[in-house]
Every structure is written in C-alpha cells, then in structure tokens.
Amino acid sequence: MIYDISIKLPQGWVSDLDSYTDESGVEITHLSCHLPNDRKQTDEALIDAYAGPMPEDTTAADQALANYADTVGFDEEDPEDFDPIIEWPFNGKKAYGFEALAEDDSPMRMMCFEPKKGILVVLVVLAKDDDTLVEAVELAERGLRLK
C-alpha cells in the first residue's frame, strides 16, 4: 500500500515522494526532504520519512533497536544491559530511536513510531549541526501528515 505522507515545509526546502518494494516484498513510501545551501553546494538538513506496514509481532521500539544495530552496531565493550534507544514524545505518540553521527560527522536522529495502528514510520533527520538538527526534528513533528 502506498501512503500519502507529507511534511509542511517552509520556503527553501525541496521534497520528493516515491515508493519501492523492500527485500521482503513490502511496499514502502519514501518522502525525501532537504534544505539545500547552493552557495556551499551541500544541504543544511535532510529529512527522510519511510512509511509502511508495521511488521508482525514487533513494536516501534523493536524496530528502532534493529535500526540501531544496522546503522551504528553494538560494541563488544558495551555492557550486557546496554540499551541505546531513547523515547521521545512525537505528535502525541511515543517515538523510539537514537542519535548518532553520520559518516560525515553530521548529527543524526533516527526515530520509529506508529502514527496509526499498524503503520510504521521511520524518520531519519541529519543536519549540519545540533541546533539545525533540533529545528528539523521540530519541523517534521509539526508538519508531518499521513493519510
């Protein structure tokens, strides 16, 4: 199923909506948004939102942990009870995720949440610095719509 997902963005942001079928045969809707800085030929911030059905017998917190394992990975030195997942309020729901540095050392936040029963949204936000990251996350929270 293709979802109608959007984020109300201020002037200057560019967005693109597409869909694809993942390796397990599930159709995923992908909204890609970025705030370009043409002078520096880079982006000030990126917001990627992926929407699809919640996998059976799992939760948004489980999906966040799986994304952490895939994106950051666990270290042998991590304590056995190490839990990198943070819970945030998001649009009146609970989002689960983590913060990390991207390959280019940009701050990143990944959040998984269930805006409607049975629908998983994975939100990935990257920015040039911490303040811009917080602004982009707040923008996504205020403007995200899913139909």
What residue spans define the domains of the chain?
5-75+83-146
Q: Is 50:60 a contact under the CB 8 Å cutoff?
A: no
- Position 41 pLDDT exceeds 90: no
Q: Which of 10-14, 35-39, 137-141 has the lowest mean pLDDT?
A: 35-39
- pLDDT, residue 16, reads 96
- pLDDT, residue 3, reads 87
Q: Is 135 helix (H, G, I), strand (E, B) or coil?
A: helix
Give this prediction's pTM. 0.91
What average pLDDT does the structure give for the chain?
92
Greater model confidence, 21 or 81: 21
CATH of 5-75+83-146, one of 3.40.1000, 3.30.479, 2.60.40, 3.90.320: 3.40.1000
Distance from C-alpha of 60 to C-alpha of 18, rounded to nearest angstrom: 22
Which secondary-structure segment (H or E) carries 62?
helix 60-71
* Tens-place pLDDT, residues 54-83: 999 999 999 999 999 888 888 787 777 788
63: exposed, middle or buried (C-beta count within 10 Å: 0-12, 13-18, 19+)?
A: buried
